[in-house]
Amino acid sequence: MNAHYLSEKPSKFALDLINYLKTNNNLLEIGFGNGTDLLFFENQGFNVKGIDLSEEFVIKAKSKGLGVIQSSAESLPYLENTFDIIYSKNVLHFTDLNKSIKEIFRVLKPNGLAYLVLILQTKSKNNKIIFELDVEPYLKNKKVIKKKEFIKIDEEGTNNKHTHKLLFCILEK
């Protein structure tokens, strides 16, 4: 995992997301990783839950007092219509979108928001496409509140440069 995923500062997406939250909102983060954004949401006074596939990250988040469960995005251990907001950053491209998007919309409350950031394409140092994902089929029939693509370059040492095209979107149930 890249070092920037271990940042102790809330991401710019977490800072933006709080504009959409109201104090009594239930928030679920899918794939919280280091837990920095989840802890930030909790410290802002929201009711937060998190799931991550990694046992190591779950143990670490529990040690920070966060209410987290080891589970997968494809099978969320919650009842339908539970969350006002679901946040997931840099995770969904690892999942089976057929299942994870269905699960997100199952556990979101009516009018709840899915705040998502995911990789659409990765190019290697030689400009060769090494990963590509078409999310459009999954966005069909969804109410799209915001949708923006952006480029992020990961450079870890001179021989390991990756250029990612990411999608940031907010969907409403």
Ligand X SMILES: C[S@@+](CC[C@H](N)C(=O)[O-])C[C@H]1O[C@@H](n2cnc3c(N)ncnc32)[C@H](O)[C@@H]1O
Determine the Cα angle at 92 with ends 89 and 98, to 5°.
150
Give the nearer residue to ligand X in terms of CB position, either 143 or 149.
Answer: 149
Looking at the Cβ atoms of 143 and 156, the one nearer to ligand X is 156
Write down the least CB distance from residue 151 to ligand X, Å: 17
* Nearest Cα to Cα of residue 32 among 83, 90, 74, 97: 90
The set of residues, in sequence order, having a beta carbon less than 8 Å from that of 2 and lying 6+ positions away, is 154, 156
Q: How far is the CB of 143 from ligand X (least distance, A)?
A: 24
Cβ contacts of 102 within 8 Å, gap of 6 or more: none
- Residue nearer to ligand X on the CB measure, 31 or 112: 31
Contact 110, 129 (CB under 8 A): no
Comparing every residue's Cβ against ligand X, the nearest one is: 33
Task: Give me the residues that bind ligand X (CB under 6 A), please.
Answer: 1, 5, 30-34, 51-54, 57, 72-74, 89-91, 94-95
Measured CA to CA, the distance from residue 27 to residue 89 in angstroms comes to 14
In the bound state with ligand X, the residue whose beta carbon lies nearer, of 56 and 136, is 56
**Residue 90 C-beta: closest distance to ligand X, Å:** 4
- The one-letter code for the residue type at 144 is V
Distance in Å, CB of 125 to ligand X, minimum = 20
